[in-house]
Structure 1
Amino acid sequence: MSTRTISTNQSTTPATSVKPTELTVDDITVIDSKLLKRAVGAAALGNAMEWFDFGVYSYLAVIIGKVFFPDASATAQLIASFGTFAAAFLVRPIGGMVFGPLGDRFGRQKILALTMIMMSVGTFCIGLIPDYSSIGIMAPVLLLIARLVQGFSTGGEYGGAATFIAEYSTDKRRGFMGSFLEFGTLGGYLLGATLVTVMMATIPSQAMLDWGWRVPFFLAAPLGLFGLYIRLKLEETPAFKEHMDKQEALEHSKPRLNMWQMLVKYKKQMLKCIGLVLIFNVSNYMLTSYMPSYLTGVLGLSELTGLLLVMVVMFVMMPLTLMWGHWTDRIGRRPVIGLGAVGLIVLAVPCFMLIGSGNMWAVFAGLVVLGFLHTCFSGTMPATLPALFVTDIRYSALAIGFNLSVSLFGGTTPLVTAWLVDTTHNVMMPAYYMMGAGVIGLLTVLTLRETARKPLSGSSPAVASRAEAHRLIDKLRRQHGRKQQQNTPQTV
């Protein structure tokens, strides 16, 4: 078998717009399974790289606060550390506006290789920055610059990776294949968190403060080079190739939409994207970025205990994410996302009451329930979000919508919740924050159309083999025949 993805559709219109009676195998995209696995692995690895940095930064937030903001109080250090973390999210929409259109014009694979390089460089440079005692105010300034580079590159990462996997996948298994993107997220985060936890358990506190915190950031270089090598070996997605063939056939007669035109034309889809990403990322950053510091700084658990609890929950979430990805291909995306949204509304407060009880088993139970609810989103979003948009603007629209929502609501979650708890002295504020996200998510889900087991908008049906393509054609013709019979007037 060839290791090439076969895109057999050479027409200028998607197969979905061809009459079933005229449909042939040449109108169906047949996906090579080997290339699909490589594409999924390469996309997931980039996301793992991004979240390796998040895991490291979140677990080192207290130490980073001491290194770069030594004159502040412990609470102010934590808020300043998370403030620098959140600052990177302010430039993510700008990164999306730059990399998204480039990905739609020049291809997903090339831009994903570029974002990998920038992300690795930004992370590596954090480890090189001298501390405050050496260069004064320039230390936090350089930290901020490195975080801005990371944020800018990440602006093109998730939208591109989700688009890449969605366009490579078959219609029947898009949910399951997409869930590996978030499997990579959890794996990268867990790797970073595990590394920091082992170092904190084995290296003296002063040594961690002096030099140990730098080591995880230095690992970004070899990880980034490995990810870049894999991404450069990939071919472009079948859907993008098909789109470029159409553009050439039309001799570019259809002008490309500019940014404003795209936002106006697809404003409903963009709002849906923002609503879905809001609930997805509020629950995500609450668990992964804020929870370790909440357990330690607010509830008074030891650092090691707090870190280990969150790590175990992340480990439990990995297979659950794949499970939901598999089931969304069977029962649909909307029921699973709706379940997670309702769960947050109803269970956020009980979960935080359990976490605040101080009993280790109760704390763990509360975290596991929140983790389970989050996997309803992590297992579905990589397939749901790309399906909102057509092929020619998918990367751009998803990159902009995703990063705008993450910047306003997701990445600011640790900073806002830390400030709310400190201001109100109410340790339940994170639960109320998650409930609000659940309400917005549920309202958004009610406006969605189901996309499971259906072709992406503007693309041909995608199947795993030519035999499956023949079966699909037969099925469509039978359905067409039944419709014709129903619409034919009956004569007596």
Structure 2
Amino acid sequence: MDISATPQPAGTDAVNLGDASATPPAKRTSHAKAIAAITLGNGLEFFDFTIYSFFATIIGKLYFPVEGQLAQLMLAVGTFGVGFIMRPVGGIVLGAYADRAGRKAAMSLTLWLMTLGSAIIAFAPTYAAIGIAAPLLVILARLIQGFALGGEIGASTSLLLEYGSDKTRGFYGSWQFVSQGLNTVCGSLLGVALAAALSTAALESWGWRVPFVIGMAMGPIGIYIRRHLDETLPGVEDGTVSAAQAPDAQPVRKLFREHSRVITTGVLTTIGGTAANYIVLFYLSTYAIRILHFPMSSALWAAWTAAIVTVICSPFAGSLSDRVGRKRVLWISRVMLIVAVYPAFMIINALPTVPVLLSVVAVLAVLAVLAVFVAFTAVPNIVMLPEMFPREIRATGMSIVYCLGVSIFGGFAQFFATWLIQVSGSNLAPAWYLIGCGAVSLLPLPFMRETAGRAID
């Protein structure tokens, strides 16, 4: 791949670069730099999500002083899920903005909103200081971040795919998931370092706030980097848009009027991948700490292992989907995940009875296997979604479909898993949640068209 090549509309081959009828882009951006800039916002959000999830027990104690540690945890992870309620709203508002004003404008706005959310959490006084206003501030921050990511995911994933060709879109789209894993790794490593370096009192007093301050500082840097991206929505930056290329004035109405079936199948397919992603990469560390009583440092290392495995596997999953098809990779990997998840939870729950070192090693091995399946099921899923819509409504369509699927079954996965443990009395309940979501997500797959290797515009 020529890393100095300019982004071309999907379906445009390299031999067409010299076509005099083509409109040359204003700048030449290396694809490596472009991928980093595009995925930065999504990665930043997952950095914050990771930190929030890892320190959910501390946040629950400081901001939700109810009786019982499990009740505190439920309120904390429930607040984690509150941000997902705003994702569909952000997907509609900011996705439509990306389809009218351009991908770059929308992504800059989402980064400013994410920065604001991080700042609120970083400096919010605790319940002991200001009472009920404290948890309300945390909820407000999560709502702002959820709104922002609802628009970020559609604009950035659409831009990634529009930088690729018909033969490389899966590989390009996989970097969206790589960014999630990398920032999960960064967040977990920071959590491990803070847990090891600080006393419990210092960690609860101010240490847990440090990652949110770092996330807040990353926003303006990302906005500066994104200024150098090439816009892929025709005519937005240079004003040369033709009547045929003009952005749709009402992308949301067009989307629901002409693509309602695609929305339904896309949402159902997303359920399985997002539930697996949020349980394996985010919830299992909290599960290990609160349910299995693992040391915090060991549980955070487990999350780091799962994240780094997804980082390594995701580009391979995207490339494989380019060669053999999105549906085939998604189907096989999701079935394997469904089969493996219950035995995996049985193994993890049996480990506290063995020596600590052996139990930690076994947990890491189990999570590594699950993370491989998560990568190979999530990557083709996230690539397929924007491919199902035409360019003029792609960001809106991707945002709405992804956010509807993620909002309930991903954002509240931790809450549902904890609640199921409480009502059933079984520590294996989260496995049944993943199995159910995975099975439902396979139902629409036979009715979806294969998008790999085909022009999307």
Query: TM over 0.5: same fold?
Result: yes
Unaligned ranges ≥5, structure 1: 17-23, 460-492
User: What amino acid does structure 2 have at the position aligned with 1:132?
Assistant: Y
How far 1:292 moved relative to its partner? 0.9
User: What amino acid does structure 1 have at the position aligned with 2:383?
Assistant: A
Determine the C-alpha separation between the residues in 2 that align with 1:240 and 1:453: 22
User: What amino acid does structure 2 have at the position aligned with 1:46?
Assistant: G
How far 1:244 moved relative to its partner? 10
User: What amino acid does structure 1 have at the position aligned with 2:78?
Assistant: G
2:9 touches 2:163 (CA, 8 Å); kept in 1? no
Summarize the alignment of residues 102-251 of structure 1 with structure 2, pairs less than 5 Å apart. Answer: 102-237=97-232, 240-241=234-235, 248-250=242-244
- Structure 2 residue 415 is the aligned partner of structure 1 residue 421: no
2:290 corresponds to: 297
- Structure 2 residue 49 is the aligned partner of structure 1 residue 54: yes
1:314 corresponds to: 307
Task: Pick the aligned partner of 2:262 from 261, 269, 273.
Answer: 269
Determine the C-alpha separation between the residues in 1 that align with 2:409 and 2:9: 42
Unaligned ranges ≥5, structure 2: none
Determine the C-alpha separation between the residues in 2 that align with 1:15 and 1:368: 38
1:308-343 Cα deviation digits (max 9, x unpaired): 122122112211111111211111111110012211
Determine the C-alpha separation between the residues in 2 that align with 1:183 and 1:115: 19
Task: Pick the aligned partner of 1:93 from 88, 99, 106.
Answer: 88
2:9 touches 2:162 (CA, 8 Å); kept in 1? no
1:5-33 Cα deviation digits (max 9, x unpaired): 37699xxxx989xxxxxxx9567899998
Aligned CA RMSD, in angstroms, stands at 2.7
How far 1:363 moved relative to its partner? 2.5
User: What amino acid does structure 2 have at the position aligned with 1:436?
Assistant: G
Cα gap change, 1:246 to 1:430, in 2 (>3 Å): farther
User: What amino acid does structure 1 have at the position aligned with 2:54?
Assistant: Y
Determine the C-alpha separation between the residues in 2 that align with 1:242 and 1:260: 21
Determine the C-alpha separation between the residues in 1 that align with 2:301 and 2:181: 15
166-175 vs 65-74, greater mean Cα deviation? 65-74
Secondary structure at 2:39 match in 1: helix
1:390-415 Cα deviation digits (max 9, x unpaired): 11111111111111111121101001
2:161 touches 2:173 (CA, 8 Å); kept in 1? yes
How far 1:245 moved relative to its partner? 8.8
Determine the C-alpha separation between the residues in 2 that align with 1:344 and 1:150: 30
384-393 vs 345-354, greater mean Cα deviation? 345-354
Determine the C-alpha separation between the residues in 2 that align with 1:325 and 1:117: 30
1:141-174 Cα deviation digits (max 9, x unpaired): 1111111111111110111111010111122111
Cα gap change, 1:293 to 1:268, in 2 (>3 Å): same
Determine the C-alpha separation between the residues in 2 that align with 1:229 and 1:30: 23
1:88 touches 1:151 (CA, 8 Å); kept in 2? yes
Cα gap change, 1:15 to 1:77, in 2 (>3 Å): closer
1:477 corresponds to: none
1:279 corresponds to: 272
Cα gap change, 1:105 to 1:349, in 2 (>3 Å): same
1:57-92 Cα deviation digits (max 9, x unpaired): 011001101111234311111001011111111111
User: What amino acid does structure 1 have at the position aligned with 2:300?
Assistant: L
User: What amino acid does structure 1 have at the position aligned with 2:275?
Assistant: V
In the superposition, the TM-score normalised over structure 2's length comes to 0.90
Secondary structure at 1:249 match in 2: coil
Secondary structure at 2:347 match in 1: helix
User: What amino acid does structure 2 have at the position aligned with 1:344?
Assistant: L
Determine the C-alpha separation between the residues in 1 that align with 2:254 and 2:29: 38
1:214-256 Cα deviation digits (max 9, x unpaired): 111111232111111111121201x54499999623496x974
Cα gap change, 1:365 to 1:2, in 2 (>3 Å): closer
1:403 corresponds to: 403
User: What amino acid does structure 1 have at the position aligned with 2:177?
Assistant: E
1:364 corresponds to: 364
2:117 touches 2:145 (CA, 8 Å); kept in 1? yes
Determine the C-alpha separation between the residues in 2 that align with 1:339 and 1:74: 39
Secondary structure at 1:62 match in 2: helix
Q: How many residues in Structure 1 have an aligned counterpart in Structure 2? A: 444
Task: Pick the aligned partner of 1:338 from 327, 331, 345.
Answer: 331
Larger radius of gyration: 1
1:355 touches 1:364 (CA, 8 Å); kept in 2? no
1:68 corresponds to: 63
2:266 touches 2:385 (CA, 8 Å); kept in 1? yes
425-434 vs 25-34, greater mean Cα deviation? 25-34
Determine the C-alpha separation between the residues in 1 that align with 2:48 and 2:179: 13
1:115-146 Cα deviation digits (max 9, x unpaired): 01110111122111111111111111111111
User: What amino acid does structure 2 have at the position aligned with 1:99?
Assistant: L
1:285 touches 1:414 (CA, 8 Å); kept in 2? yes
User: What amino acid does structure 2 have at the position aligned with 1:383?
Assistant: V
1:100 touches 1:399 (CA, 8 Å); kept in 2? yes
Determine the C-alpha separation between the residues in 2 that align with 1:246 and 1:390: 20
How far 1:39 moved relative to its partner? 2.2
- Structure 2 residue 393 is the aligned partner of structure 1 residue 393: yes
